[in-house]
Amino acid sequence: MGKSRRKQFGAIPVRFTPEGQLEIMLITSRQTRRWIVPKGWPMKGLDGHDTAAREAFEEAGVAGSIAAQPIGSYVYAKRLKRNATVDCEVELFPLTVEKERRRWPEMDERERRWFSPDEAAQLVDEEDLAIIIERLPDTLAPGRSG
């Protein structure tokens, strides 16, 4: 009996430096202070990418244009109360950050920071998430294929 997976939607906030280097924003989780990406449960009346964009604003204070198509997904065990966990599959959408708020809903509960793709990939715990982050420069390269 395989445990059923719950679906979540996540954003990977990205920006390009003036030199054209890709940077990725990670945030800390509330309890364990691990580096993660903004993500959350499906919201009624919102598509996956809109949900991801909403989470990015609430958890990281960033807004911008979010891709309508996911670039991949990863699975992690979400801690629930009383030490129970549930397996969640997180669909990821890149969010090109256009605004970084000085104040945002969860600013007192989380830290946010920009990293290079290599740094970000090393900081996250989930291997599949790390791989997606490492590949982002190629995934997002404008008009480049192959």
Amino acid identity, residue 99?
K
- Give a three-class secondary structure readout of 50-62: HHHHHHHHHHHCE
Polymer length in residues for the chain: 146
Tell me what pLDDT residue 83 has: 82
Q: Which of 111, 72, 116, 78 minimizes the C-alpha distance to 94?
A: 72
* pLDDT tens digits, 70-122: 999 999 988 888 888 899 999 999 999 999 999 999 999 999 999 999 999 99
Q: Is the overall model pTM greater than 0.95, yes or no?
A: no
50: three-class secondary structure by DSSP = helix
- The domains of the chain, with CATH numbers, are 6-140 (3.90.79.10)
- pLDDT at residue 2 tops 60: no
Tell me what pLDDT residue 54 has: 98
d(CA 60, CA 37): 9
